[in-house]
Each structure stands twice: as structure tokens, then as C-alpha cells.
Amino acid sequence: MTNTKLIRILKTFIVIGISLILFGHYLLSYTDFTQQYGVMGIMICAGCIALGFACSLPTKMYLTFVLVKRENDLKSSITPPE
């Protein structure tokens, strides 16, 4: 898998994770979802937020490692050896 394809996939997972976090927060704060469904509604909202964190946080770390490695490879290919 090429670096550009991997970076695109990681960015997609970050967007999905942030969307799930915002959706869970929206359900908890701005709708009557938790009042209608009680404890099960709270569990669904918390599950959305937890799944969003699980998708976004590790991919951010891995994406940072990939981008730093790519930058170091570019710097090493540009600078002439001594």
C-alpha cells in the first residue's frame, strides 16, 4: 500500500471518529433521545462517543508517525551526503 493511500485511509478514519463523537454529543445534549430510551439511550450515546475516540485517537498518532517518517525520508533524499 502506498503512503498516499494509507494517509487517505487514516484521514477518513479520523473524520469518521470525530463525526461519531459529535453525533454522540448531539444526542446527549440537544435531543430528548436519552429521556425517551432511558439508560439504553445513554449507553448508545456513550457507545458512539467511545467508538469515535477509538477511531480517531490511534489513527492520529499513527498518521503523525507516517508523516514524520515521510518528511525525514524527503530531507535525507534532498541533502547531499558528506
Please report where in the chains the cell 463523537 appears, as a residue.
21
Residue 78: pLDDT over 70? yes
Q: What is the mean pLDDT of residues 41-65?
A: 90
Residue 53: pLDDT over 80? yes
| CA 11 – CA 48 distance, rounded (Å) | 19
| CA 74 – CA 72 distance, rounded (Å) | 5
pLDDT in tens, 2-45: 878 888 888 899 899 999 999 999 999 999 988 999 999 999 99
Residue 80: pLDDT over 80? no
Phi, psi of 6 (to 5 degrees): -65, -45
